[in-house]
Structure 1
Amino acid sequence: MKLRPLHDRILVKRLEEEQVTKGGIIIPDSAKEKPIKGEVVAAGPGKVADDGKQIPMGVKTGDKVIFNKYAGTEIKIDGDELLIMREDDILAVIEA
């Protein structure tokens, strides 16, 4: 199934965090927090301003991002858990 977000919304797949700390301690699933890093799977065309002009998105498909802890709505598509959120919920783009 293909999904195309509307306006200033993006579709994000969470990136898995490491399961072992730097000290070698293994973190059980029950103690882990949901990751706040993800990869943009799809992005809408952008927000429409009050004057009718379209403001382009600051992120694109493939960007790795950090987002708010409680951002977005969780959805399942073809067995994959994804988040759909507004561009405003993104805090930063990870540049390598």
Structure 2
Amino acid sequence: MAKRLVPLLNRVLVERIVPPSKTTTGILLPEKSAKLNSGKVVAVGPGTRDKEGSFIPATVKEGDTVLLPEYGGTEVKLGDKEYYLYRDEDILGTLHD
């Protein structure tokens, strides 16, 4: 039975996207050229409240591809997969094609 993590408050569960280490033609890419910190949002908490008590929903949704900070996030291991928990405000932006 697989466990499912549902983040609390304004937390976002992200699976990091590992950039390819070589091209389709077999050319090896240096690590520095593949440094994009991005991930796919797996689960999102409901949101949080501000000091006045107003509800602030999360700004990302499940399935979004997001730009992540270079450092931060809490590593979570579920089964054989690694995920990271971030606060909604720590995510730098969403990536679109």
Task: Pick the TM interval, shorter chain.
Answer: 0.7 to 0.9
In structure 1, the partner of 2:70 is: 69
Letter in 1 for 2:5: L
Unaligned runs of 5+ in 1: none
Superposed, 1:3-82 pairs within 5 Å as 3-20=5-22, 25-27=27-29, 36-82=37-83
Structure-2 separation of matches of 1:35 and 1:75:
21
With normalisation by structure 2, the TM-score equals 0.83
The change in CA–CA distance for 1:14 and 1:34 in structure 2 (over 3 A counts) is farther
CA distance in 2, matches of 1:95, 1:14: 16
Q: Percent identity?
A: 41
Aligned length: 92
Contact preservation (8 Å) 1:4, 1:43:
yes
Shift of 1:20: 2.5
From the superposition, tell whether residues 27 and 95 of structure 1 become closer, same or farther in structure 2 (CA, over 3 Å).
Answer: closer
Unaligned runs of 5+ in 2: none
